Amino acid sequence: MLIEIPETFILGAASSAWQTEGWQGKKAGQDSFLDQWYQQERFVWHEGYGPAVATNFMEQYGEDIELMKEIHLTHYRTSINWARFFTDYEKLIVDEEYAAHIDAVINALIAAGVEPMLCLEHYELPAYLLDTYDGWSSRYVVELYSKYAAIAFERYGDRVKHWFTFNEPIVIQTRCYLDAIRWPHEQNTKKWMQWNYHKTLASALAIKTYHEKGYQGRIGCVLNPEMVYARSSSKEDQQAQKMYDLFFNRVFFDPMIKGIYPEELIALCKEHDIYFDPAKEDLEVIQQHTVDFLGINQYYPKRVRAPRYQWNAEAPFHPERFYENFDLPGKQMNRSRGWEIYPKVMYDMANYLKENYGNIPWLITENGMGRENEEAFMDENGQVVDDYRIQFISQHLYWLLKAVEEGANCEGYMLWAFTDCISPMNAFKNRYGLVRIERNAARTRSLKKSAYWYRELIDERRLSYEELPLIL
């Protein structure tokens, strides 16, 4: 089956600053949350590999951009590392060496015909602000972020036309403070909700600045909603689905798109003593400064059922009080990553946005397949023959394009990732890139089979699709 891809549909790729840059040139005191976590718990990172070296993008960005040009990539999303952008986070003294690096990357991308998309925070909260003010617990940090955003817009807004305030703003506090599975392992559900709220407010303040200054572009946020499916049609399972959606999706969707929080969420937060006590004027900022568009990161579905057991009244409140995870028998798995593979999630998320959020403009800002031990798929010439990745992208793109054909306002697809890069804890264990990076001193780059396939997809604007079980 051949499917036509609209000419205006973006086919790009993504990464982030901390996952590519490495620490070359990083000054004392410029650690991010991720840097600090890596220093505190290096043992949890696969083979001890993490952000210290990453992919050496600081030195080798020119080579990577040449590869983008070779693949005919049209759009590239990355981030500014907030922790490296300043030498003083309160006086807002810019590190001119790092700022010049961002300038150089932007200019090189544009010269190569690649449209830059910049995110202001991709888990790069300065460790100083975490240590001094408890990070996003503090309203003052919201103000500092707002001022940082204004400086970034002023410096790069003449060339960068697509901005994102955050990447996956729910993730850090969910891992650290709700589930307490990552450093600093503090279980504090109220803090989790406070961080959710303050990031929403910080996003609105950045959007306010961007619009008031009249920049010729647009600004949104990259969210990672989970398309959540109930185990069955029973009203109990359906209620579990509704509650998961409320706490993990609508907690950002509603205020960022509609400008208001769901009344049911507010009532539950008050009932369980996790309310974030917003100031009236801050709620007005959120209401008046919603996103222009959205980035959606989408990898796997979430499946839930009604809880089978009574909640322990002595345990801290957790949204799991209202749902239980459901393990679908026979599901297709990426066993390298431990994630279910369900390509129709793209179609269902598109319809969810169309039906609930006014068909807001959006694009997939991350989707991809991580694979362990890709060396096993090298041919005699040393090229990774990643047919599994080609098939994964094809199946997800098929469902996304089907939704577009039916009226979904999705503008494109950004593959995670352009190159292999580190991920939290996973490090280089699973590789996601079109471009392979060796862990040698030169960080040698090479194009995988999928890179040539993606180039053809960009050039020909036709997707060949077969509904077959994935090659795993």
Please identify every residue annotated as catalytic: 168, 366
Q: What share of the chain is helix, strand, coil (3-state, %, to 5)?
A: 45, 20, 40
Is 470 contained in some domain?
no
Q: Which residue matches tokens 């997800």?
A: 396
Give the SS3 label for residue 126: strand
> Contact, 412 vs 10, CB < 8 A?
yes
Q: Is 64 contained in some domain?
A: yes
pLDDT given at position 470: 64
Nearest-angstrom CA–CA distance, 76 and 51: 20
Q: Which long-range contacts (CB under 8 A, 24 or more apart) does 376-382 make?
A: 382/446
Of 304, 464, 349, which Cα lies nearest the Cα of 395? Answer: 464
The CATH number that applies at residue 6 is: 3.20.20.80
Q: Is residue 157 part of a domain?
A: yes
Inside any domain, residue 471: no
Query: What was the pLDDT predicted at 471?
Result: 59
Domain extent for 71: 2-464
427 part of a folded domain:
yes
End-to-end CA separation in angstroms for the chain: 22
Q: How far apart are CA 138 and CA 391, in angstroms?
A: 45
Q: Is residue 469 part of a domain?
A: no
Report how far residue 52's alpha carbon sits from residue 268's, in angstroms, rounded to the nearest whole number.
41
> ∠ CA 347-228-393 to the nearest 5 degrees?
40
The answer to whether residue 356 is domain-embedded is yes
Q: pLDDT of the chain along its 472 residues, tens only?
A: 889 999 999 999 999 999 999 999 999 999 999 999 999 999 999 999 999 999 999 999 999 999 999 999 999 999 999 999 999 999 999 999 999 999 999 999 999 999 999 999 999 999 999 999 999 999 999 999 999 999 999 999 999 999 999 999 999 999 999 999 999 999 999 999 999 999 999 999 999 999 999 999 999 999 999 999 999 999 999 999 999 999 999 999 999 999 999 999 999 999 999 999 999 999 999 999 999 999 999 999 999 999 999 999 999 999 999 999 999 999 999 888 789 999 999 999 999 999 999 999 999 999 999 999 999 999 999 999 999 999 999 999 999 999 999 999 999 999 999 999 999 888 889 999 999 999 998 999 999 999 999 999 999 999 988 776 665 5
Domain count, the chain: 1
